[in-house]
Chains A and B, each alone.
Chain A
Amino acid sequence: MNLKKPLKMAVVVGMALIIAIVPLVSGGCAGDGGKVKVGFSICYTGPAAEKGRPMGDGKLDCIKYINEEMGGVAGHQIEVIWRDNGYDAAKAPTIVNELMAKDCLLFTTCSSGMMTASMEIANRAEFPGFAVFSAPALTHPPQHIYGQMPDYGDDWAAFAEYYLENIWQGTGKPKMAMHLLNNSTGYGARDASKALADELGIEIVATEEHTPTTISEIESLTRVKALEPDILYISSTPQPTSIIVKNAVELGLYPGITIGCGHASFTSALVELAGDDVTEGVYGVFPTVNWGDNVPAMDKMTEYCQKYHPDDYGNMDYITCWAEGLIVAEILRLAIENVGVDNLTPQAVEEYGFKKLNNFDAGGLHGPVTYSPGDNRLSKSVRVFQVQSGEITPVSDWVEAPLIKYEDFDWFGR
């Protein structure tokens, strides 16, 4: 029997099947029934899942609410294509490619890390997107990527100004030690301190670094303690921040100094991980309101959270991404209003959606959302909170973080 014939047949049939099926699988799916598509790259699993899960839940619940109770955006349902990026930088580019191929009009990521891995592909294709948590590198220089909230450098600037005006009672320059996560979350704050510390009148006496999986910072905090700082500023995520705060208490460094945290760590998870008594009095900045605050979006958000994801109740990351859902809807509404649903393209959404945002109130959940030319931060305000009796309690009104022109500094990496 001639065995080459079946092989050749198999090859021909196989190739024909591949050629026929692949375009069906990979091809863009045009919006049907007037739906508008958006893409979410969510770190539901992986090393950032403790933040990614409530964030993903929040944004998907919000879109569900908009579709089911608000009738979508300008009468058009929002179709979400979401993918779990697993906080894997290798996956992130393929996900943004997929979202573009599937005709999404914009995309979002939860973290600055995943946006970093996606942004250049998106920038080259002029595919607009925004990161909920952002680092200076995403928006400096401004291109097609936006930050929903102030970045980690803005946190530092806002906290430093608050400290000088409301807490510092000594003379001369207060001494600040910084404890930074070894990625853009940590070093975003470092960049801001390099740009503004002298101008504000703060002396940076130490810059320590930790990993996301640190289990002890006794050694680094011993070095910090020897320098007698007035402030310990931590820019990190909840797990390592809880270790640092606990170690600071063990070393007798805290109480006695002020501890301030960036927004990536200052959630209920920090208090749960470190304990009420240990975190008592710790300050932190966060760009949203707190659970239970009297703002328009609170009731509906609480209802959805308790109905679909009760475990997320109390987690401020859920709030940030509920707000993200509202902002996505507003961007789409503006774009539809300006160019009509039939003419929507990613470029049109950026030009007539993102860039038309003007004092949009995201249900009062965070500061007003405005696009300013040359400044791709959509919301520019944070509030200072303090742990009081185990509760994260606001101690300031909205504080607008100044725009730092990082690209003007030689040392800025990009």
Chain B
Amino acid sequence: MDLPSGTRNYTYAQDMAIFRTKTQWALLAALMVFLFTAPLYWGNYWLGVANLIGITIIAVTGLNILTGYCGQLSIGHAGFIAVGAYTAAVLTNRFELPFLIGLISAGLTAGVVGMIFGIPSLRVKGFYLAISTIAAQFIILWVINHWSSLTGGFTGISVPPASIGGISFVSQGSQFYLIMIITVLVIFFAKNLARTRPGRAFVAIRDNDLAAQVMGINLFRYKLIAFFIGCFLAGIAGSLLAHWVGFMSGEHFTLMDSILYIGMIIIGGAGTTLGPIFGVIFIRMLQQGITFISPVMEQTFALPAGFTTGIGPMVFGLAIVLFLILEPRGLAHRWALFKASYRLWPFSY
């Protein structure tokens, strides 16, 4: 990693530290203060948006481990999120188990289901694997919609608010704390995972699986581990989504969502820890911005009701296309360039 001028590592611990300068620690502290005081000055709407962003970051971080680091393209991620959501819903609603048990079980169940659908990854890769993960999306949703005695089927299932030790997370503000803490932990986990033996194995498999195998990496084992971890995080996100929305139906987990998650890691920067954060914030804020455009334009220009609604999808599509053309390596790369230029400023090299 590039270091600011004058910053040197004298020990292995220093070399491995994520935060090493006072500025970085100060920024981290400022971010934490900002996040933990946010409910004081954000309204319910922005807290709701932040909650959705947090949940999506967890899910997309899982996908980033699977696709960005390990190179296993999955277009069924919404299906794995659904597994987690319904596991949590069934355990907390039908069996009245505590939220934390539901949360962990959601992750484990989604992880195991992900491993099952990851088995073909030993034989197929690229587009072929993508097609097999699309099958996961359809099979999982079919089972959820038709196992109505357990899942509520098409009618759906209520999910009680999350609660830990008598503290119930009902308001958007309280849910914000819960979701943000888990999101921070997940990001920390993902950052560290990338620097562990499995993390390096994932990258080796992504870059050249034959070479990785020659080096002694057990492809099947590490691919399945990637599927488990990626889908475990999807399950955690699903559980949080279920408790946040309060009612689950299959309509929350569409193929479009799965494709959108892929778009998020591409826009944010696949194979980086910051990528999912940037990608999710970009896409979710763009979505929110677009919902404002139509009413504001119609009020401003006195247009007939509904006249401008086509603008939203057009702006959304255009933004993504332009972004892919102008910054194909993602926002994380742009951020790295910004940091590098800041370190060198005012010199160009």
Contacts and interface: CB of A to CB of B under 8 A. Distances in A.
Contacts of B23: 4, 7-8
Contact of B42 (A26, A64, A117): A26
B44 A44 contact: no
B321 to A, nearest CB: 18
A90 B52 contact: yes
A95 interface: yes
Chain A residues touching B, range:
35 or more
B294 to A, nearest CB: 6
A225 interface: no
A411 B290 CA distance: 40
A4 B6 CA distance: 13
B157 A413 contact: yes
B252 A414 contact: no
Contacts of A88: 287
Nearest to A410: B149
A86 B305 CA distance: 16
Interface in B293-308: 294-295, 304-306
B145 interface: yes
A187 B155 contact: yes
A26 B30 contact: no
B155 A413 contact: yes
Interface string B160-201: 010000000010100000000000000000000000000000
Contact of B306 (A57, A119, A191): A57
Contact of A413 (B46, B153, B343): B153
Interface string A78-97: 00011111101111011101
Contacts of A412: 155
A95 B159 CA distance: 20
Contacts of A44: 294, 306, 309
Given A84-B309, A117-B252, A182 B44 contact: no
A122 to B, nearest CB: 9
A186 B304 CA distance: 33
B68 to A, nearest CB: 22
A22 B42 contact: yes
Interface stretch (B97-105, B108-116, B206-214, B241-249): B241-249
A94 B53 CA distance: 11
B14 interface: no
B349 interface: no
Interface string B227-252: 00000000000000000111101111
Interface residues of B, number: 58
B219 interface: no
A119 B157 CA distance: 12
A412 B41 CA distance: 42
Contacts of B158: 120, 414
Given A45-B310, A94-B48, A413-B153, A308 B304 contact: yes
A391 B287 CA distance: 40
B337 to A, nearest CB: 16
Interface in A314-363: none
B246 A120 contact: yes
Nearest to B293: A84
A117 B247 CA distance: 7
Most buried by B among A56, A120, A137: A120
Interface SS, B side: helix
Interface stretch (A98-106, A285-293, A295-303, A365-373): A98-106
Nearest to A180: B154
A57 B148 CA distance: 36
B277 interface: no
A116 to B, nearest CB: 5
Interface string A5-26: 0011001000100110011011
B305 A64 contact: yes
Contacts of A53: 306, 309
Nearest to A307: B304
A230 interface: no
Given A15-B30, A308-B304, A411-B148, A97 B155 contact: no
B303 to A, nearest CB: 10
B328 interface: no
A173 interface: no
B190 to A, nearest CB: 22
B345 interface: yes
B125 to A, nearest CB: 29
B25 to A, nearest CB: 12
Nearest to B55: A90
14 contacts: A1-B346, A4-B23, A15-B30, A23-B41, A45-B313, A84-B290, A91-B291, A94-B45, A101-B44, A117-B249, A136-B155, A137-B155, A182-B250, A413-B156
The 10 closest A-B pairs by CB, nearest first: A120-B246, A413-B152, A413-B155, A97-B48, A60-B305, A187-B154, A44-B309, A26-B43, A101-B45, A98-B45
Given A45-B312, A94-B49, 20 more contacts: A4-B23, A23-B41, A44-B306, A56-B309, A60-B305, A61-B305, A83-B292, A86-B291, A90-B252, A94-B52, A98-B44, A101-B45, A116-B249, A117-B252, A124-B170, A183-B249, A184-B154, A413-B148, A413-B152, A413-B155
